[in-house]
Chains A and B, each alone.
Chain A
């Protein structure tokens, strides 16, 4: 069963544990500037919103790559950058409509979320359940459950 990252901004407090977990998993260092997931703050509205690659089925980054450095992980469905192949041309960063593939000057390659091979560190580190890793076909299940509860308003016999 394929799973996908699911983000619920309402639950995000802006603690950045996800960014630290991501940088630690992928670079062995607590360094949010190397994180592949970012939490954005919208101060005026009082909102914090985590955002990262959603692993498009037809991936623009993958299709744009001239050297086939971005490939699909058969197990997770993640679009994974193969650093040994990547030439750092950055065409994928232009092709991605969402900005979730980014160049890393230190390595001269690009990086993006690869779902940590099926155990995303960000979801594991999130203390509030704002980031979860759930069945890809049913990312809306929690929202449906919450709304379903609100529709159950009919009086009933005791």
Chain B
């Protein structure tokens, strides 16, 4: 089994709540979480739907291993049509919320329609009700969790919610759970806000009882945990430095996008690195990092918990920010730091906390500020327009803009559009560094060629988590490939995309794949879930999910033209480092990729491909 075999359908327009049996044929074909929820979504929602209209749906979903003792088995995902991207969106989060939903007896929640007034969903096992959220509207994520836990008189309640960014239509709003874990990308929080849904509070006491063969499962889970513990990345690097282990590595490779991708190396990378978080500050003699942290079931524990220097300008009179809080992770450190040329670790963590507090994706926020700084540099956005001087490198401007964006104050309203819409508004669409209106994460496509193809073809817009070829091109996992060449990257990207889709559908974390392959996941799934789960069936399942998402996007209006990178990455060579002189070879890789995928030269899956995958 692995599934509870029950889903909740909540119609926010009329307030009705129904329990439905899970479609077990679909569970067999799409496993769970990303794959299964996307199947429900594409069957029920018109691809042309306007993301912020009541006709869009939003699904919160667990995988079959969520809530089990499998390492990292605490993931949940949010599937919808993304506000930022207009494409299929699937944002994945850890923390404890997903496992609690499973423990309450539910595989997924499908939200439909739009509530006439702010509400939140309360789940206590089978007791499910929509409750008034007038008192929560206008509150931050941190306040919302506190108020709900206190009014439920149950500190063990788990909450996911939107902050003020999601309420105010910031296009890259996220849904935050357990204070600092987030379904972060593509504006899934914006969609939740458009439905007047403030939060979901869940308490589950039933547990995950549906394991097919408990003894075999415990043995498989234990063996897989040992693989993680023995691996240098998941056993040592990630627990000690978190994802920030990458900051100095990627910078030295010349693949650190800096100042809106004008440069590929950041002179202050060391100051904002994982190593710097371990160094004692001259001001108070303490390290920035307090401890590492795990999500539910995770034996890696890459999460960072830090404290900001109390004397730093960002928090000097704000004791509410002196406590320990989540961050910095590598992507946030890059987007808030290198992308803007800001080398002030304390300022970056303060902005990161604001992003958690008000539910904003720090990648899209930071990258949009970078675009604004470039527009400022070019004289297109004046000091008067932004309301301040905003040159590259200004921590003051970064901080001020963060404080203004979630609440939609002044120029913060325009940062909240995201870089694609903002740059288009000022006549410079080419300065938005992203794909399908979603901003790039922290790897430059000129220095790591496979990531260019990853971004261009990602079904949810630019994203590193759809095929993390950095593992191969930088770390040599599972085999080392040359990051500077395009040869072989089409096959590499396809293999990573398909395998990642399986992990994202299982309830486990994609970070396990630094050590695990499908061969480590397969025995756990086979022991937990009814049905036959072989290496072959899982590989096909991943490919099926990828093509299903592609078909939806094509029907939504995306074409091969949208599988492209901004002109800067194709025409302005890297200035320094090992990739010096290189541009992205995306135009060479794209047709190769379509061929490997079994798609037409226009990027459309052929009838044969769809038939082979059972689509």
Min CB gap B318→A, angstroms: 14
A125 interfacial contact with B, CB 8 Å? yes
| Interface size of B in residues (CB-CB distance below 8 Å) | 39
- Per-position 1/0 for B294-313, Cβ under 8 A of A: 11111101010111000000
Interface residues in A1-43 (C-beta closer than 8 Å to B): 13-17, 20-21, 23-24, 27-34, 43
Task: List B90-142 residues whose CB lies under 8 Å from chain A.
Answer: 96, 99, 103
Question: In the bound complex, how far is the Cα of B460 from the Cα of A22, in angstroms?
Answer: 39
Answer whether A15 and B307 are a contact pair too, CB < 8 Å, given A24-B214, A24-B218, A33-B103.
no
Q: How far is the CA of A58 from the CA of B365 in the complex (A)?
A: 59
> Is B231 part of the binding interface, using a Cβ–Cβ cutoff of 8 Å?
no
Given contacts A24-B218, A127-B229, contact A31 B307 (CB under 8 A): no
Q: Which residue of A lies closest to B229 (CB)?
A: A127
Whether B292 pairs with A13 at a CB distance below 8 angstroms is yes
B207 located at the interface, meaning its Cβ lies under 8 Å from any Cβ of chain A in the complex: yes
Q: Chain B residue with minimal CB distance to A106?
A: B205
**Contact of B156 with A30 in the complex, beta carbons under 8 Å:** no
Chain B residue numbers with a CB within 8 Å of A45 are: 290, 323-324
Cβ of B204 under 8 Å from chain A? yes
CA–CA, A34 to B204, complex, Å? 11
**A152 CA / B337 CA spacing, docked (Å):** 42
Tell me which residues across on chain B come within 8 A of A128, comparing CB atoms.
301
Q: Could you tell me the distance between the alpha carbons of A24 and B209 in the complex, rounded to whole angstroms?
A: 9
Nearest-Cβ distance from residue A143 to partner chain B, whole angstroms: 18
**Which B residues between 168 and 217 are near A, CB-CB below 8 angstroms?**
179, 204-209, 211, 214
> Which residues of chain A have C-beta atoms less than 8 A from B205's C-beta?
31, 33-34
Give CA–CA (A48, B325) in the complex, Å. Answer: 13
A20 vs chain B, min Cβ distance (A) = 4
- Nearest Cβ distance between residue A65 and chain B, in whole angstroms? 26
Q: Are A46 and B324 in contact (CB under 8 A)?
A: yes
A30 touches B208 (CB 8 A): yes
Q: Does the CB pair A15–B290 fall under 8 Å? A: no
B68 within 8 A of A: yes
Q: Which residues of B contact A27 (CB under 8 A)?
A: 207
A-B pair number, CB within 8 angstroms = 88
For B204, give its contact among A23, A33, A48 (CB under 8 Å).
Answer: A33
Whether the Cβ atoms of A15 and B207 lie closer than 8 Å is no
Asked if B163 is at the interface (CB within 8 A of a chain A CB), the reply is: no
Q: Within the complex, which residue of A13, A24, A32, A127 is in contact with B103, where a contact is CB–CB below 8 Å? A: A32
Known: A20-B69, A24-B214, A30-B68. A44 touches B297 (CB 8 A): no
Cross-chain contact of B208 among A15, A31, A46 (Cβ < 8 A): A31
Q: Which residues of B contact A43 (CB under 8 A)?
A: 179, 323-324
Q: Is A82 an interface residue (CB 8 A)?
A: no
A125 to B225 alpha-carbon distance, docked (Å): 10
A31 near B207 with CB under 8 A, answer yes
B576 — which chain A residues lie within 8 A by C-beta? Answer: none
Q: Is the CB of B207 within 8 A of A33?
A: yes
Q: Is there a chain A Cβ closer than 8 Å to B11's Cβ?
A: no
B299 contacts A127, C-beta separation under 8 Å: yes
- Given contacts A31-B205, A33-B103, A20 and B297 within 8 Å (CB-CB): yes
CB distance from B470 to the nearest CB of A (A): 24
A17 engages B291 (CB within 8 Å): no
Whether A47 contacts B68 by the Cβ 8 Å rule is: no
Task: Select A15's contact among B218, B297, B306, beta carbons within 8 Å.
Answer: B297
Task: Give Cα A46–Cα B179 distance, bound, in whole angstroms.
Answer: 12
Partner of B305, one of A28, A46, A125: A46
- Chain A residues, Cβ within 8 Å of B218: 24
Measured between beta carbons, the chain A residues less than 8 angstroms from B292 are 13
Q: Does B418 contact A (CB under 8 A)?
A: no
User: A30 to B229, Cβ gap below 8 A?
Assistant: no
| Least distance between B154 CB and chain A CB atoms (Å) | 11
Indicate if the CB atoms of B67 and A30 lie closer than 8 Å: yes
B296 touches A15 (CB 8 A): yes
Instruction: Name the residue on A nearest B214 (C-beta).
Output: A28
Quick check: A24 and B294 within 8 Å, CB to CB?
Answer: no
Q: A33: which of B156, B209, B291 is its contact (CB, 8 Å)?
A: B156
The answer to whether B297 touches A23, judged by C-beta atoms less than 8 angstroms apart, is no
Residue of A whose beta carbon sits closest to that of B211:
A30
Q: Does B293 lie at the interface of the complex (its beta carbon under 8 Å from any beta carbon of A)?
A: yes
Whether the Cβ atoms of A29 and B294 lie closer than 8 Å is: no
Q: How far is the CB of B563 from chain A (nearest CB, A)?
A: 38
User: Which B residues from 55 to 114 make CB contacts under 8 A with A?
Assistant: 67-69, 71, 96, 99, 103
Residue numbers in B under 8 Å from A125 (CB-CB): 69
Closest to A124 in B: B222
A13–B99 Cα distance when bound, in Å, is: 17
In the bound complex, residues from chain A placing their C-beta under 8 Å from that of B325 are 46
Chain B residues closer than 8 Å to A20, beta-carbon distance? 68-69, 297
Q: Report the bound CA distance from A82 to B440 in whole Å.
A: 60
Q: Give the chain B neighbours of A34 by CB distance below 8 A.
A: 205, 207
CB atoms of A127 and B214 under 8 A apart: no
Q: Is A15 a contact partner of B299 (Cβ separation < 8 A)?
A: yes
Q: Which residues of A contact B68 (CB under 8 A)?
A: 20, 30
Q: Is the beta-carbon distance between B298 and A15 smaller than 8 angstroms?
A: yes
Q: Decide if A30 touches B207 in the complex (CB within 8 Å).
A: yes
- Whole-angstrom distance from the CB of A125 to the nearest CB of chain B? 7
Alpha-carbon distance between A47 and B292 when the two chains are bound, in angstroms: 10
Query: B307-356: which have CB < 8 Å to A?
Result: 307, 323-325
| Residues in B neighbouring A23, C-beta threshold 8 A | 207
CB atoms of A13 and B207 under 8 A apart: no
Contact B324 A16 (CB under 8 A): no
Contacts of B306 in A (CB 8 A): 46
Contact at B297–A17, with CB atoms within 8 Å? yes
Instruction: Tell me whether A15 and B69 are in contact (CB under 8 A).
Output: no
Query: Which 6 residue pairs are nearest across A and B when measured between Cβ atoms?
Result: A31-B207, A46-B324, A13-B294, A15-B294, A127-B299, A13-B301
B contact residues vs A (CB 8 Å cutoff): 67-69, 71, 96, 99, 103, 156, 179, 204-209, 211, 214, 218, 225, 229, 239, 290-299, 301, 303, 305-307, 323-325
Q: List 20 A-B contacts (CB under 8 A).
A: A13-B291, A13-B298, A13-B301, A17-B71, A20-B68, A24-B218, A28-B209, A30-B207, A30-B209, A31-B205, A31-B206, A31-B207, A32-B207, A33-B103, A43-B179, A43-B323, A44-B323, A47-B324, A127-B229, A128-B301
* Given A16-B96, A31-B209; 13 other pairs, CB 8 A cutoff: A13-B303, A15-B294, A15-B301, A29-B209, A30-B68, A30-B208, A30-B209, A30-B211, A32-B207, A34-B205, A43-B324, A45-B324, A46-B323
